[in-house]
Amino acid sequence: KDTIDKKDDWFVLKRYYSSPKKTEPSTLKLFTSILIRLLYHLLLFLRNESIPQDTEKIQHLLKIKIKNEVSNFLWNKIKREFERLQTITNLNEELLCVALHLWIKDFYEKFEKWYPRGLPNNTLQMIHKFEEKLDKEYSTFFNRKTEFIELRAIRIDE
């Protein structure tokens, strides 16, 4: 199923590339906004690389003139957002990767608990509510540097 053609899914992605550019709720912490953008760009990058027939749609969304530049554009965005997260969290690359891995696992479980049938709809209001819930739930998740170091050490010892 080609989910990127669904109007609601496109709406969620378009909000970052249409005027006004800033469409996150103003109550979100900077960290949460960057994390959400990182995830959107990762998803677009993976989709662009794995489903070639969607490259043109993604190119149109991003307003990129040359099809071959889509991956580079997204990869540069991902790197920049990752670096910003490193600065905000004060985690090095390796620890941020550990933290993101743990966060994705935890987020998946929380999302399933919060929305067992998925988001009820993809309106801007619903997305904002979801992002605010995400912001509240995970505002301190990446502050667990000692735990990330310990987990990394366990992995190295194995």
59 phi and psi angles, rounded to 5 deg: -60, -45
> What is the mean pLDDT of the segment spanning 77-81?
96
Is it the case that residue 148 has pLDDT exceeding 80? Answer: yes
Comparing C-alpha atoms, which of 14, 123, 8 is closest to residue 60? Answer: 14
- Whole-number pLDDT of residue 93: 95
Contact 107, 135 (CB under 8 A): no
Give the model confidence (pLDDT) of 24-66 as tens digits. 557 889 899 899 999 999 999 999 999 989 899 899 888 899 9
Please list, in sequence order, all residues whose beta carbon lies within 8 angstroms of the beta carbon of residue 120, skipping any fewer than 6 positions away.
126
**Domain ranges within the chain, ordered by starting residue:** 3-92+112-140
Residue 46, classified by CB atoms within 10 Å of its CB into exposed (0-12), middle (13-18) or buried (19+), is exposed
- Give the pLDDT band (50/70/90) at residue 2: very low
Quote the distance between the C-alpha of residue 35 and its chain's center.
5
pTM of the model: 0.80
Residue type, 94: E
